[in-house]
Amino acid sequence: MDTTELWIGAQDVTDVMRRLHDDEEFGFELLADICGVDTGSEMWVVYHLYSTLTPDWLRVVAAGLEREDPRVPSVTFLWKGAEWGEREAYDMFGIIFEGNRDLRRIYMPADYVSFPLRKDFLLADDAARSPGEGFRHMEQTHQPAENLRRPVLRNGKLGSGTQVAALGLLPDETEAPPS
């Protein structure tokens, strides 16, 4: 791997980050990046930290978040600037950052319902291939349980499963969600 990695669970984020930030031994004053990742089977939140004591980045990965309800504590109490980064991860992946006072969509419109960077999000191209359905595919309420059952596609990589869905080989997506 290119840099030091620290794999933790969501429950440890607050303690680990506070220790790394406050402890003079570490001195990770700068949050270089915060982002969400969807691996297809689980969600991660990836932090990159920088300290003047080492020329290397430290990557902290909060792994193992459930795709159906990804939750992780916010780090805005240490870095106010993480607020927008967390908003972006929420907007794109639906990850809930507990403790972020301003957790709302940042790029997509307020009435948007799905999370575009998830691996099971349908692209316009794929959606348009499905006869008569057009672009409405993109804006369906996210149905995690249904999506998880979809096969893994595309060169053996954790694909979006979009082509198969669009060709109608899978259960129809357009069914009304159970209320």
Partner 1 sequence: MTETTKIRSLDDPDIFVETPATIFDAVPPFPPRSEREAEFYHLRDGEMLINLGPQHPSTHGVLRVVVKIDGEKVVDLDPVLGYLHRGVEKICENGDWHHAISNCDPLEYVASMFSEAMPVLSAEKLLNLQVPRRAEYIRVLCWELNRIASHALFMGWLALDLGGLTPVLWSFIERDEIVEMLAALTGQRLLFNYLRIGGVNRDLNHDFLSRLGDWMSRAGNQIEQGTRLLNENEIFVRRTAGLGVLDRESALRLCMSGPPLRATGVPYDVRRAHPYSVYPELEFDIPTRTEGDSYARYLLHVDEIRESIKIIDQVLHEMPDGPVMAKIPRLIRIPPGRAFIAIESPRGQYACYAMSDGSDQPFRLRIHDPSFFNLQAVGALMPGNLIADTMAIMASLDPVMGGIDK
Region near partner 1 per CB under 8 A, out of 62-70, 116-124, 128-136, 169-177: 116-124
How many whole angstroms separate alpha carbon 37 and alpha carbon 59? 13
CA dihedral 143, 147, 148, 150 (to 10 degrees): 160
Question: Should residue 81 be labelled a site residue for partner 1 when binding is judged by CB under 8 A?
Answer: yes
Q: Which two tokens stand for residue 83?
A: 């607020």
Q: Give the x-and-dash track for 36-65 against partner 1 (CB under 8 A).
A: -xx-------x-x-x-x--xxx-x------
Q: Is 106 in contact with 84 (CB distance < 8 Å)? A: yes
CB of 84 to partner 1, least distance (A): 5
Kindly state whether residue 110 participates in binding partner 1, applying the rule CB under 8 A. Answer: yes
Provide, rounded to whole angstroms, the least separation between the CB of residue 115 and partner 1: 11
Selected range binding partner 1 among 11-19, 95-103, 139-147, 169-177, rule: CB under 8 A: 95-103
Report how far residue 111's alpha carbon sits from residue 109's, in angstroms, rounded to the nearest whole number: 6
Count of residues that bind partner 1 according to CB under 8 A:
51
Nearer to partner 1, 10 or 74 (CB): 74
- 23's enclosing H/E stretch is none
Closest CB 138 distance from partner 1, rounded Å: 11
CB 107 within 8 A of CB 80: no
Q: Does 26 bind partner 1 (CB under 8 A)?
A: no
10 Å Cβ neighbour count for 18? 13
Q: Is 101 an interacting residue with respect to partner 1 (CB under 8 A)?
A: yes
Considering Cα of 173, then 148, then 179, then 72, what sign does the dihedral take? negative
> Which listed residue (131, 132, 155, 169) binds partner 1 by CB under 8 A?
155
Give the bridge partners for 44, in sequence order.
Answer: 37
Contact residues: partner 1, CB under 8 A: 1-3, 5, 29-33, 35, 37-38, 46, 48, 50, 52, 55-57, 59, 78-85, 88, 92, 100-111, 116-117, 121, 123, 154-158
